[in-house]
Amino acid sequence: MAVEVKIGITDSPRELTVATSLTSDEAYAEVEAALGGKQPLLALVDEKGARYLIPVTKIAYAEVGASENRRVGFGS
């Protein structure tokens, strides 16, 4: 199960998308803690092990997707 976290960065036309192995609730809690002033950085690790550190002051918005199982095949 992968959860996509999309983060809009101020002064940038593009957004950062991180596919993390966290559950949707865990990813939401991480984003909420960072934006609530409890952390100066939002730290996320994607499914391949890459680490992302985003300064909270540069985050314009964050979207946490729902956990979903990826279906494979023609009957999906």
Q: What pLDDT sits at residue 67?
A: 64
**Which one-letter amino acid corresponds to residue 14?**
R
CATH number, position 36: 2.30.30
Q: What pLDDT sits at residue 72?
A: 63
Instruction: Report yes or no on 70 lying in a domain.
Output: no
Q: Which residues contact 39 (CB under 8 A, 6 or more apart)?
A: 33, 56
Q: What pLDDT sits at residue 70?
A: 60
Task: Taking residues 49-74, report their average pLDDT.
Answer: 84
Instruction: Report yes or no on 25 lying in a domain.
Output: yes
C-alpha–C-alpha distance, residues 26 and 66, integer Å:
11
Instruction: Report yes or no on 23 lying in a domain.
Output: yes
CB-CB contact of 47 with 19 (8 Å): yes
Instruction: Report yes or no on 76 lying in a domain.
Output: no
Q: How many domains does the chain have?
A: 1
Residue numbers of the domain that contains 23: 3-64
Q: What pLDDT sits at residue 75?
A: 62
Query: Nearest CA to 17 among 74, 65, 70?
Result: 65
